[in-house]
Chains A and B, each alone.
Chain A
Amino acid sequence: MSVDSDRGGVRTVVADAYRGALPTLAVSAVGGLVAGSLLGGMEAQLSAIEGLLVLVPAFLAIRGSVYGSLGSRISSALHQGLIDPTDPDRRLATAAVAALANGVFATLFAAALTVAVLSALGRPVAPLGTFLVVALVGGVLAGLALTAVVVGVVLVGYRRGLNPDDLVGPAVTTAGDVFGMLALIVAARVALAL
């Protein structure tokens, strides 16, 4: 961006910012709608596991933070030449394991906190055990799916000459919402079946 275009006035800045962000917002809105439709189909589980809805935003946000950070870590490493895109090494595996471990731990924490806060507020809430099963199963399933998506998108994008920094954000928000909700549904079913 040249200095001249910076002085092009408000109109140029607006047009530039609008055009730059609209595709990303639209793509992740589609992902969000799919996730919403999955959430809308969860009425049975939401009623059966009291307080589960309270966990949903934290559950989705943890995926976004952990796998967004994994994606930008891998893409920085590619830029620095620390990871060979045709032969990903142990670094990549370490980063993926760290993401999975942190994601699952934070989800267990969110589940325990949900039960604690709802009990303290005197609101109805399912037993801690049920929540921990949901968090563990959901965290692991979503983690495996998202690791595959993030690593795949970044490495394939890089090999095709795209800047992985531009791909990570939209890929993580979209896949994070969709796979996060799918994992949460499976996890809620598992917890109810146990």
Chain B
Amino acid sequence: MTDRWSVRSITRTLLPVLLVLTALELLSGLALGSFEATLLEYPSLLVLVPVAIGTAGNLGSVLSARLSTAMHLGLLSFSTEDDRLVGNVVASVLLSVTVFPLVGAGAWALTLATGRANLGPATVVGVALASGLVLAVLVVAVTVASTYVAVRFGVDPDDVVIPTVTNVCDVLGVVVLVVVAQLLV
């Protein structure tokens, strides 16, 4: 038991996954980097970046934690008839549609407070809401698909799905925000 608590043993479990995830996060960084000029031009969009990443990741981890628990309790079937699956999916979309517009309004207000708001509030809220909607659909698709694959291969979804989904959603968060902003701004 003491051995599990040595620096070496913690590192052996943590580091390989950490390095893979770090490399994956670089993709989201590259998406950001290629959009750097626009982000620096419109500070409200730059303010949205961490919160869009974080909220997408959180939506994914909440949904996957709930699906994993339902699976462990034997209460989950992958069918559109399954109340638990459908209910959690609907809740994810509703959560996204609730949180993202508020986040957009917050981002606009913060840039206004620092005197650098050069986009209207409707534009920033619109970018946030549209990104939130697209992200909700993608997050649900990625989470349900990876939970399904984990279950099929007999892997515990708690071990695999949550870290995968959180990081994929981080990357998707940036990419979707960047694409939506390019279309709407």
Q: Give the CA-CA distance A173 to B59 in the complex, in Å.
A: 12
With A47-B40, A110-B22 known as contacts, the answer to whether A29 contacts B51 (CB < 8 A) is: yes
Task: Please name all residues of chain B whose beta carbon is closer than 8 Å to the beta carbon of A117 when the two chains form the complex.
Answer: 26, 30
Q: Give the CA-CA distance A32 to B1 in the complex, in Å.
A: 37
Do B22 and A106 have beta carbons less than 8 Å apart?
Answer: yes
Residue on B nearest A26 in the bound complex, by CB: B99
Do A24 and B62 have beta carbons less than 8 Å apart?
Answer: yes
Q: Give the CA-CA distance A62 to B167 in the complex, in Å.
A: 10
Do B107 and A33 have beta carbons less than 8 Å apart?
Answer: yes
Q: How many residues of A contact B (CB 8 A)?
A: 71
Do B32 and A29 have beta carbons less than 8 Å apart?
Answer: no
Find residues 39-88 in chain A having any chain B CB closer than 8 Å to their own CB. Answer: 39-41, 43, 46-47, 51, 53-58, 60-62, 64-66, 69, 73, 82
Task: Please name all residues of chain B whose beta carbon is closer than 8 Å to the beta carbon of A54 when the two chains form the complex.
Answer: 26, 29-30, 32-33
Contact of A57 among B32, B61, B166 (CB under 8 A): B32
Partner-binding segment picked from B41-49, B137-145, B148-156: B41-49
Do A114 and B49 have beta carbons less than 8 Å apart?
Answer: no
Q: When each residue 58-100 of chain B gets 1 if its CB lies under 8 Å from chain A and 0 otherwise, what string results?
A: 1101100010000000010000000110111011101100110
- Quick check: is B102 within 8 A (CB to CB) of the other chain? yes
Do B15 and A106 have beta carbons less than 8 Å apart?
Answer: yes
Do B10 and A37 have beta carbons less than 8 Å apart?
Answer: no
Do B26 and A114 have beta carbons less than 8 Å apart?
Answer: yes
Q: How many residues of B contact A (CB 8 A)?
A: 70
Q: When each residue 1-36 of chain A gets 1 if its CB lies under 8 Å from chain B and 0 otherwise, what string results?
A: 000001111111110111011101110111111011
Do B54 and A29 have beta carbons less than 8 Å apart?
Answer: yes
Q: Give the CA-CA distance A94 to B3 in the complex, in Å.
A: 11
Do A60 and B32 have beta carbons less than 8 Å apart?
Answer: no
Find residues 87-121 in chain B having any chain A CB closer than 8 Å to their own CB. Answer: 87-88, 90-92, 94-95, 98-99, 102-103, 106-107, 110-111, 114, 116
Query: Which residues does B use to contact A, with CB under 8 Å?
Result: 1-2, 5-7, 10-11, 14-15, 17-19, 21-23, 25-26, 28-30, 32-33, 36, 39-40, 43-44, 46-55, 57-59, 61-62, 66, 75, 83-84, 86-88, 90-92, 94-95, 98-99, 102-103, 106-107, 110-111, 114, 116, 163, 166-167, 170-171, 174
| Pairs of residues from A and B, 4 with the lowest C-beta to C-beta distance, nearest first | A13-B87, A32-B51, A17-B91, A36-B47
